[in-house]
């Protein structure tokens, strides 16, 4: 009985380590995306975003949210795409990755455009222009 518990415990630990390897998951998500398996890729990108965030790798976390947004956008699931791009943009601006944040905002705007939410499109256009102006002033 105890041998089975130890074996099962070791098996679960090994499975956990494989599932929690953010680098492998990052690659796996990219391969799924490249193969056009957007739904599966979206799920893996989201999991990877959390793992990167947990180790305070905020740029890669923001990048994974962005990629999840691209997956949802490709699936025409614009509400979900907005959610992912918003997370990417917020994290990017919070951590000083402003140029990357602008890209996420642009995709967020395009998602609202696809939904026909023109007021939100105008609001985001204004925000994008403000951030770009700020970035230009710093260089």
CATH number at residue 132: 1.25.40.10
Which pLDDT belongs to residue 6? 52
Determine how many CB atoms are found less than 10 A away from the CB of residue 49. 28
Q: Are 102 and 135 in contact (CB under 8 A)?
A: yes
Nearest CA among 78, 54, 64 for reference residue 33: 64
Q: Cα–Cα distance between 56 and 65 in angstroms, integer?
A: 14
Which pLDDT belongs to residue 2? 46
pLDDT in tens, 66-80: 999 999 999 999 999
Determine how many CB atoms are found less than 10 A away from the CB of residue 79. 10
Q: Cα–Cα distance between 6 and 113 in angstroms, integer?
A: 55
Q: Cα–Cα distance between 29 and 63 in angstroms, integer?
A: 12
What are the distances in angstroms from CA 31 to CA 25, 35, 73, 90?
Answer: 10, 6, 17, 26
Helix, strand, coil percentages (3-state) for the chain, rounded to 5, are 90, 0, 10
Residue 124 has pLDDT above 80, yes or no: yes
Nearest CA among 92, 95, 94 for reference residue 107: 92
Q: Which domain holds residue 103?
A: 2-138
How many distinct structural domains can be found in the chain?
Answer: 1
Residue 52 has pLDDT above 70, yes or no: yes
Q: Cα–Cα distance between 137 and 128 in angstroms, integer?
A: 14
Mean pLDDT of the chain: 89
């Amino acid at each position: 009985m105890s041998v089975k518990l130890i074996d099962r415990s070791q098996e679960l630990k090994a499975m956990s380590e494989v599932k929690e390897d953010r680098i492998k998951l990052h690659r796996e998500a990219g391969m799924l995306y490249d193969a056009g398996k957007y739904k599966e890729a979206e799920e893996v990108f989201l999991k990877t975003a959390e793992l990167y965030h947990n180790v305070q790798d905020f740029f890669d976390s923001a990048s994974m949210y962005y990629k999840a947004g691209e997956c949802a956008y490709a699936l025409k699931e614009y509400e979900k795409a907005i959610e992912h791009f918003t997370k990417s943009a917020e994290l990017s601006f919070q951590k000083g990755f402003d140029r990357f944040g602008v890209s996420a905002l642009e995709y967020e705007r395009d998602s609202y455009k696809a939904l026909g939410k023109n007021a939100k499109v105008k609001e985001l256009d204004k925000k994008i222009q403000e951030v770009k102006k700020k970035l230009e002033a710093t260089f």
